[in-house]
Structure 1
Amino acid sequence: MSTSPLFRPLQLGPLQLPNRIVMAPMTRSRSSQPGDVPNELMARYYAQRASAGLIVSEATQISRQGQGYSFTPGIYSEAQVAGWRQVTDAVHAAGGRMVLQLWHVGRMSHASFQADGKPVAPSALSPNAQVWVVGDDGIGRMVDCPMPREMTLGDIRAVIEDFRHAAANAMRAGFDGVEIHGGNGYLLDQFLRTTSNHRSDEYGGSVDRRIRFVEEVVAAVAGEVGVERTGIRLAPFITQRNMNCPEIIPTILHLAQKLDGMGLAYFHLAEADWDDAPQIPEAFRHELHRAYQGRVIVAGKYNINRAEHILNQGLADLVAFGRPFVANPDLPARFAKNLPLATLDHKSLFGGDARGYIDYRDYASDSTQASA
């Protein structure tokens, strides 16, 4: 038995986790078309990785309006609910636990996903960013996001209801809980930042007004599935997509206090994972720990040494791994036995078929094949 803190059991709401290793949410764009429906291939992919203490699904749009990339799955149609049921059944049969990440991209979208050709956002401000869209020729390309339209109060109420309905669908699909995507420059994040939210009504201006939309989404979702089964992902230090807000850190900490008062199951801190990304200051981690007393998941280019260090410091309860889980479906076993990690094929991350998706082997299979 490993003595690593990664392998200490943990109670997360009603879930008893056998380890502190989380499979991070990762867009893979493998849903069936038309309809963005989860499928048997996805069920096999997630079930292969069921030894994680917790699996957080890839980001899943709560509505057609909430979509920003091609072939990402949804959770708003009956076909999508049935497709996700295949996935959760497979994960549970393999002994795993899984939550669904609820997603609305806001202005990070494309005209082809919108009924009127206009993505919605807190304010009509461009992200100056691109999204991956598959054209009529079947080829995926990065294309510019169009200028969004500012959401009306009716739009805001409708999106909150979409989150509530999606959370209810997630439970019908057999998930153990939900995670609200509030980071990475998507809709909830857009409301939090002064660089993307120029509203002068009750959803913009002061800190309390800018966090109001997030609070109302959380309340709607938690009212549907239970606060003990609800988590949120936030990304304070992202600066891309015109999100470099000078007020975001105190805003996030203020929101964290509010979420703590609501009894939210966990706070998922998404750290930037590119090579030259700014490091999260140690002081922020301590401030977050004081503001929010619930469970904290951290994610962002962690290796086993960094993961063990932050767990031992008491500044996180779980550590999420993304790309290492893609190439190593048996990642917890490899960590426990100090086994080498397989190499990821980056070219097969988004879209495609079984190659680079479900054909990665666990270490025992690779060793058996090599010795045969």
Structure 2
Amino acid sequence: MVLVELKGVHKVSSKGRHYYYAWRGGPRLTGAPGSDDFMASYQEARESRNAPDSAKFSSIVQAYRKSPEYAKLADSTKRNWSRMLDKIEAHFGETSNAQFDRHKRIRPTILQWRSQFADTPRTADYGMQVLSRVLSHGVDPLGKIAANPCEGIKSLYKNDRSAIVWTEGDIVTLKEATDDKGKQVCSAELAFAIDLAIHTGLRVGDLVQVCWAHAGEDAIIIATGKSSGKREAVIPLYDDLRELLARIPKRGKTILTNSRGQSWTQDGLASSFHTAKKLAGLSERNLHFHDFRGTAATKFYTVGLPERVIAEIMGWSEDEVRNIIRRYVGRGAATRAIISQINAGVKLAVKPPQNPQTEPAVSA
């Protein structure tokens, strides 16, 4: 048996016998030193000592990090959330869980914490989003908090992107721009990804996951990652979308592949898009890949599709559709859509009178 020196083990000798404890004042270890039982009891004791106090908020933060819900997040999201979780645990970790049920007292504390990001409202709202998600985890499934005190706190960042939508000119510029060697900065594979985003309105995480098998006879149907698979996007295969799919080469299971013929990753697509946009001279336009969702929503809305139908197509809730339309669809576009619908309705409802001279005679 090989004896391993374990840090902190406290040895007590009494009446010729030796007893071992995980640390001075700690639990007694079982089995002979070096045995499997001894090592297991030591490891269990150390883990219990390092575990956070279950009555404090740090226990909820750590439980959330280990949850299946957190595990399902995209890698890029995990990286960003992990940094914010560190900040949240450092600030609130020693606060008792019971304090979060005293909303009148804890909400000013939460708002004070948010104020450190006041110069960057989007970061402030991002921090509140992560904190709210952890608190919701504490409510359900942990049951350590009765209700989420973040609910009802308004966002700081007001984002009206109705004037920041990809125009046809922007898209042409991105696709046709060349570098100093005359090479197009937007690869054919990236162009396919852009076109599929415009025609479907799918989020980037779903866009890179959509497979040829998802394209049925009449629609592309895919469970959306944002809803953890609970909601489906049902995108009708209208003529322009069918034509696009016919142009995309089938190189693998997923519809979209990179220049190496491999499925895009979310980070890989985002990186290629960012590089192409910069080289195309569009950095100052404040346009993002997810703004193609706004382009798709605008298209669906301006042809007269109801919000309920748009929600089903894009795999969003109707509230999300209303918000996306409010953010992306400018008043001019909305007004023109209403005019078109009214005009179409009038033309259908009112038939021109027949020419009396051409009407057939009515027999008496």
RCO higher in structure (CA 8 A, sep ≥6): 1
TM score, norm. by length of structure 1: 0.22
Q: Quick check: which one's helix share is greater? A: 2
Structure with the larger strand share: 1
Q: Could you say which structure has the larger radius of gyration?
A: 2
